[in-house]
Amino acid sequence: MNILKTPNQLGQKPKSVDAVWSGSNGKILNIQLRKGEEVAEHDADMEVLIIVRSGTVRFTVEGETVLVDNETILHMAPLEKHSLYAETDADICVVQIAP
């Protein structure tokens, strides 16, 4: 068993992207954004689950825009191009799983 810590970083620095865990079949990232910050369009070669722990984030995936918050989980297939914009301060858990 491992406890993985994801401390709040927004008091110390803007936009925080930290690797939380990495293994042979995937990885977990923690992204923390202040309102108005964004991550430019990119893709991943893995299945991706976006779990917004707090806040609201606007994702644009292959040209379609959706709002994701703590009541929704976003799934993206490998290589889907996406970008994100923090509608509010946000704390996001990104789970990448090898297909």
Single-letter amino acid, residue 59: F
Q: Given a cut of 90, is residue 87 above it in pLDDT?
A: yes
pLDDT at 99: 87
User: CA-based angle 59:15:55, to the nearest 5?
Assistant: 50
Structural domain boundaries, residue 73:
16-97
Which CATH number do you get for residue 20?
Answer: 2.60.120.10
Model pLDDT, residue 14: 81
First to last CA, the chain: 24
Residue 72: inside a domain, yes or no? yes
What does the pLDDT average to over 10-20? 88
Distances (CA, A) of 40 to 10, 44, 61, 67, 73: 19, 13, 12, 16, 20
pLDDT digits (tens, 9 = 90+) for 30-74: 999 999 999 999 999 999 999 999 999 999 999 999 999 999 999
Q: Considering its fold, how many domains does the chain have in total?
A: 1
Contact 41, 85 (CB under 8 A): no
Q: For the full predicted model, state whether its pTM sits above 0.95.
A: no
Q: What does the alpha-carbon distance between residue 25 and residue 62 come to, in Å, rounded to a whole number?
A: 25
